[in-house]
Amino acid sequence: MDRRPQSLRCEHRPGRFRSHAIQFQPDLLRQQPVGPPECQLRNLAVRDRLCFGQPGFKAGGFDGSTSVTLPETDPFKSERVWTYEAGVKFLPRGGPVQIDASVYYNDFNNLQASLNKLINGLPTNIRTNVGSARTYGAEANITVRPLHGLEIQGGVSLLDSKILDMRSGNAAERLRRIGNELPFAPKMTLTGSIRYAIPLGGDRVLTPSVNGRFVDDYYTELDNYQPIKGYFLGNAQMELAFAERMTVGHGFATSPIKDTRRPFTWLRPSTRHSAARRALYGVSLGYTF
């Protein structure tokens, strides 16, 4: 961790894109700056506490791969986000317990998403700037080493997302989306792992380990039609190391499959229900030179 009381970093990454937007119309070009200057001020007054705020962006562009009319290729602006985060870390080197936790808030503007528009009398989904949103949440991780060679890790991430404003010529679409959750924003994610290194003598170490990850329900589109059900993914592995150079590992992973959604861009999302469990097996071999 930097011991300076404050750290200021500014950078500017200029760039522009130019491209032919319409097939058979090579004279029509699109260009737009892809990013703003960025400044970041970090308060490092205390060694294990960190507070910062910084802007970010997702470059603008236009959809031109399957477009056949001019309105479909209207360029959209860069998506902007301001991020605010504060956290604490307790990370004594080699200590039996290590903890880090943080809270954050993100403010999105010019949110990029698909919008349904009538073009030449036909409904068409095009990518454009649709509005603003916010997210806030908290994260925490803990590592415990109660015995020599035994390491236990756990983590939790909590997230709340909300669409604040929606720009659309379709009043029903605008009302339907305001207040919804952002896509791919599960409210909770849990992780955990256990790893135990067992010396076997002769510079050989056997390390069995297990880890798992749970992801809560989430949506894949702004309309929040159908949630993707939460799932758990578990892994187990056995690794044998020789003289800290050569490793041989065998792994096994399993996770349930249910309520799988398959979205279509021109119809309401459909849902396929299935009850199954998939398993993956693997063997790895490594050598360090």
Number of domains forming the structure of the chain: 2
- Which domain, by its residues, includes 245? 196-289
In a domain, residue 190? The reply is no
The encoded tokens of residue 56 equal: 């970010």
Please report the DSSP string for 122-140 in residue order. Answer: EEEEEEEEEEEEEEEEEEE
Q: What is the pTM of this model?
A: 0.69
**Listed residues 160, 182, 204: the one ending a domain:** 182
Question: Which residue matches tokens 């490594």?
Answer: 286
Structure confidence at residue 1 as a pLDDT band (50, 70, 90) = very low
Cα separation, 178 vs 130, whole angstroms = 11
**HEC readout, 76-97:** ECCEEEEEEEEEEEECCCCCCE
Same domain, 178 and 126: yes
User: Cβ distance 167 to 131 under 8 Å?
Assistant: yes
In which band, very low, low, confident or very high, does the pLDDT at 97 lie, cut at 50, 70 and 90?
very high
Percentages (nearest 5) of helix, strand, coil residues in the chain:
5, 65, 35
Q: Do 15 and 154 belong to one domain? A: yes
Of 148, 182, 216, the last residue of a domain is: 182
Between 114 and 193, the higher pLDDT residue: 193
Residues 170 and 224 in one domain: no
How many angstroms separate the CA atoms of 65 and 62, rounded?
9
Q: What is the pLDDT of residues 213-253, one digit of tens each?
A: 999 999 988 888 888 999 999 988 888 887 666 666 666 66
